[in-house]
Structure 1
Amino acid sequence: MRYDLVDLRLFVHIVAEGSITGGAERMHLSLPSASARVRSLEHHAGVALLVRGRRGVRPTPAGTALARHARDVLTQTTRLEGAVASYSRSPVAPVILLAGSSAMHRLVPQALISFLREHPDLDVAAAEQRTPRTVRMLADGEADLGIVLDEEAHGCGLELNPLVDDSLVVIGQAGGVLSGRTEVGYQEVAEHPLIGLDAGSALQRWIEVSLGPLAPVVRYGTVVADLNTLVALAAAGVGLAVVPRLAVDPGEQFEICDLQDAWARRHLSLCWGSTVRSSPEATRALAEHIQRCARDRDRDRRG
């Protein structure tokens, strides 16, 4: 049996919408035309693909199998079209995105997943950079977008769009010393064994510079190289850890407390380059994905 791509796409939409009407609207087809295509699919398959009801339709086991494989076929077709089309269009320079470690931990990967799925013909080069370096590269036309600490980038002369709260918080093992607390001062946190990042990391330098010469004596029982390891060890009870709020997954099982100290309050902004080096449309689309992901994370955090 030969399958028509329009029929497969229509069937996938019908299953997703739970109705033939909804699928037809997604495909900009009339209801009679969509119904005829479904009947033709079932006729050639020799088996019912949908169970009709007063409240819509649902797939039969055969329909579920068809929808699953149809999605795979349509995905591969999109990739095929993109691969062939790349030879007929002018090459577009990749969008260069720079961000600090907290944004690169979760926000940037989430944004890139949705962006690249929707724009398989575009490329992105993402790299981790501290805010001062990111601002310099954006000002010099060496990058398109940057996710920067607003407190460090304010007054840089580039366009800044507020993005998301990235204040520092303290995390520890569930049921541990932070249990029942909603906020705590760094002076008290420093009385417990801590897990820290390498001395050269942007986060560690931010903490040390913010504390200044009056910083309390801290005992770092463990020092690691990345936020993933830091969060995992804190959740396992190795010690407490000071991390950006953006690095915390609301679904993870550990205690979390806000830091009371004023220096711990930070915000991230989206910073635009001074010149257009990649496609303006691609850059704008990526910026919108980043902003959308930031809003989603903030909504999930607030519950």
Structure 2
Amino acid sequence: MRYDLGDLRLFVHVVTEGSITAGARRMLMSLPSASARVRSLERHAGVELLIRERRGVRPTPAGATLLRHARDVLAQTALLEGAVAGYARTSAAPLVLLAGGSAMHRFVPQALVSFLRAHPDVDVTVSECPTPQTVQRLADGAANLGIVLDDEARDRGLRTEPLGDDSLVVIGRAGGVLAGRGTLAYREVAEHPLVGLGTDSSLHRWIAQHVGPPAPAPRYRTLVADLGTVIALAMAGVGLAVVPSRAVAAGTPVEMCALRDSWARRRHLLCWGAGASASPAAVTALAGHLRAAANAGGDEQPDLGAAARSADP
């Protein structure tokens, strides 16, 4: 037997609504046409499918069986249509977004969720990348957008805009050695056991690049792969951690102090690639979602950079 998908869809609506009239309305069909198609379906099946009563209809045992299988067929058909439709859309290269670890930890995922939901026909390739490499790839036209640190992206002729504070802070267990402290210098932090990101991370390289004598050599109890783990270890009192302030969600039960060192005050820039091949409208839209996510994340954090500036001699 061969069943028409339209007839099956009508039958499902009729049984669900308990009325041929209501089922016809759901299908945008006249009542005589719907009744004729249901009768045709019964002739095709060779058995009555509906019990017709004064107040509507209900399925016979055969109709209940047909209903169950019809729903399965229609659901699988919808999946089939969706899968094939994905190949029918206009082919376009995915947008390429590059960002450092602190941006990737919080507001980049938020921006991707909102952007990809709003633009189902645009794909995005996202990579974590240190600022120097990001700037080079943007200058070469190999990426559409990048999130970079301000003092590492100057004089490259790329379009940029401020995207928010990325200053570093020190965090530790609530009620621990940082309790009651407003700001402190990194040399004081390095006197305590630390936890941090691995040596190949941009944050670890940034700290190592700027820290030198007279600060003591830090003792890292462990180096891990992601900021979430670093923050969890600091919360548990394993060691202090130097992290971007925006990486710590509002309400996280940790002590947080600003660093007085000038190198700890950083800002993110949103940077456009030079001549990268992609839809300008899509790039602009993604930039807008990144901007909104960065601003939302910034609203959750106190301006610890201002505290550090006011504490400078």
Tell me if both proteins adopt one fold, taking TM over 0.5 as the criterion: yes
What is the CA-CA distance between 1:276 and the residue it aligns to?
3.3
Give runs of aligned pairs for residues 86-101 of structure 1, distance below 5 A.
Answer: 86-101=86-101
Counterpart in 1 of 2:33? none
Counterpart in 1 of 2:274? 274
Distance change >3 Å, CA 216–CA 4, structure 1 → 2: farther
Is the 8 Å Cα contact of residues 208 and 215 (structure 1) preserved in structure 2? no
User: Larger deviation: 158-167 or 87-96?
Assistant: 87-96
Mapped to 2, the partners of 1:297 and 1:213 lie a distance apart of: 34
Counterpart in 2 of 1:205? 205
Is the 8 Å Cα contact of residues 189 and 240 (structure 1) preserved in structure 2? yes
Is residue 241 of structure 1 aligned with residue 224 of structure 2? no
Mapped to 1, the partners of 2:83 and 2:300 lie a distance apart of: 36
Counterpart in 1 of 2:174? 174
Stretches of structure 2 lacking an aligned partner (at least 5 in a row): 1-16, 18-22, 28-55, 57-77, 304-313
Is residue 122 of structure 1 aligned with residue 110 of structure 2? no
Distance change >3 Å, CA 85–CA 276, structure 1 → 2: farther
Counterpart in 2 of 1:297? 297
1:169-224 deviation digits (Å, cap 9, x = unpaired): 00001111111222111111111111122222211111111113544222212222
Mapped to 2, the partners of 1:113 and 1:88 lie a distance apart of: 24
Q: Which amino acid is the alignment partner of residue 285 of structure 2?
A: A
Query: Percent identity among equivalent residues?
Result: 57
Distance change >3 Å, CA 233–CA 146, structure 1 → 2: same
Runs of 4+ displaced beyond 6 Å: 79-82
Is the 8 Å Cα contact of residues 82 and 120 (structure 1) preserved in structure 2? no
Is the 8 Å Cα contact of residues 82 and 121 (structure 1) preserved in structure 2? no
Mapped to 1, the partners of 2:192 and 2:279 lie a distance apart of: 50
When the two chains are superposed, the root-mean-square deviation of aligned CA atoms in Å is 2.3
Is residue 164 of structure 1 aligned with residue 169 of structure 2? no
Q: Which amino acid is the alignment partner of residue 281 of structure 2?
A: E
Mapped to 1, the partners of 2:149 and 2:253 lie a distance apart of: 27
Larger radius of gyration: 2
Mapped to 2, the partners of 1:81 and 1:275 lie a distance apart of: 36
Is residue 136 of structure 1 aligned with residue 133 of structure 2? no
Mapped to 1, the partners of 2:81 and 2:159 lie a distance apart of: 36
Distance change >3 Å, CA 88–CA 207, structure 1 → 2: same
Distance change >3 Å, CA 142–CA 80, structure 1 → 2: farther
Q: Which amino acid is the alignment partner of residue 133 of structure 2?
A: R
SS in structure 1 at match of 2:275: coil
Give runs of aligned pairs for residues 186-225 of structure 1, distance below 5 A.
Answer: 186-225=186-225
Mapped to 1, the partners of 2:80 and 2:250 lie a distance apart of: 38
Mapped to 2, the partners of 1:268 and 1:286 lie a distance apart of: 16
Is the 8 Å Cα contact of residues 190 and 215 (structure 2) preserved in structure 1? no
TM-score, normalised via structure 1 length: 0.71
Counterpart in 1 of 2:306? none
Counterpart in 2 of 1:185? 185
Q: Which amino acid is the alignment partner of residue 249 of structure 2?
A: D
What is the CA-CA distance between 1:80 and the residue it aligns to?
9.2
Is the 8 Å Cα contact of residues 166 and 266 (structure 1) preserved in structure 2? yes
Mapped to 1, the partners of 2:242 and 2:81 lie a distance apart of: 47
1:243-288 deviation digits (Å, cap 9, x = unpaired): 1122111131111111011110000000000013111111111100
